[in-house]
Amino acid sequence: MDKRDELATIWEVPDDLWAEVKRVLDEVDPDPNGRHGRPRIDPRRALNGIIFRMRTSCHWNHLPREFGDDSSVHRTFQRWVNRGVFERVWALLIERCDDLGAVHWEWQAVDGVMGKARTGGTSSVRTRRTEPKLGARRASSLMATAGR
């Protein structure tokens, strides 16, 4: 059994949840009937692909073919972000979990990322210049000469 078989359903939306997500999509992102151009991709496959992408952090162009064309899945993702689909689905999930008593609001926390400012941070604050680190050989030779 390979790893993919072990995690087969981790990004597939269950049928009961899909029925509710479909109602949100029908309201917020209806399929334009009679419109010229290519038809839209299957929204359930697109959602599964988006979940796969978010859970694995793979590049969009590395999505498995089972989710459809990677460009189409990404285009669907962008359209849903712009139309607020994910906020509506998130509210729906919170409501369902709250109804089940599965949300413990007193234990909620916000997570943040702490890391280096890759572009140098704010330019208004001057930083002190530090001495370069010495290699092990150079440090030991300097210590030996200082002890003489």
140 is a domain residue: no
136 is a domain residue: no
> What tens digit of pLDDT does each residue of 73-121 get?
999 999 999 999 999 998 888 888 777 776 676 766 666 666 666 666 5
- List the domain range (segments joined by +) for residue 76: 15-26+39-102
Measured between alpha carbons, how far is residue 8 from residues 12, 55, 119, 142 in Å? Answer: 8, 13, 39, 60
43 is a domain residue: yes
Q: What is the model's pTM? A: 0.62
pLDDT at 131 over 50: yes
> What tens digit of pLDDT does each residue of 12-59 get?
888 988 999 999 999 999 877 666 777 889 999 999 999 999 988 899
Q: How many domains does the chain have?
A: 1
21 is a domain residue: yes
54 is a domain residue: yes
Type and span of the H or E element at 143:
helix 136-146
Is 76 exposed, middle or buried, given 0-12, 13-18 or 19+ CB atoms closer than 10 A? buried
116 is a domain residue: no
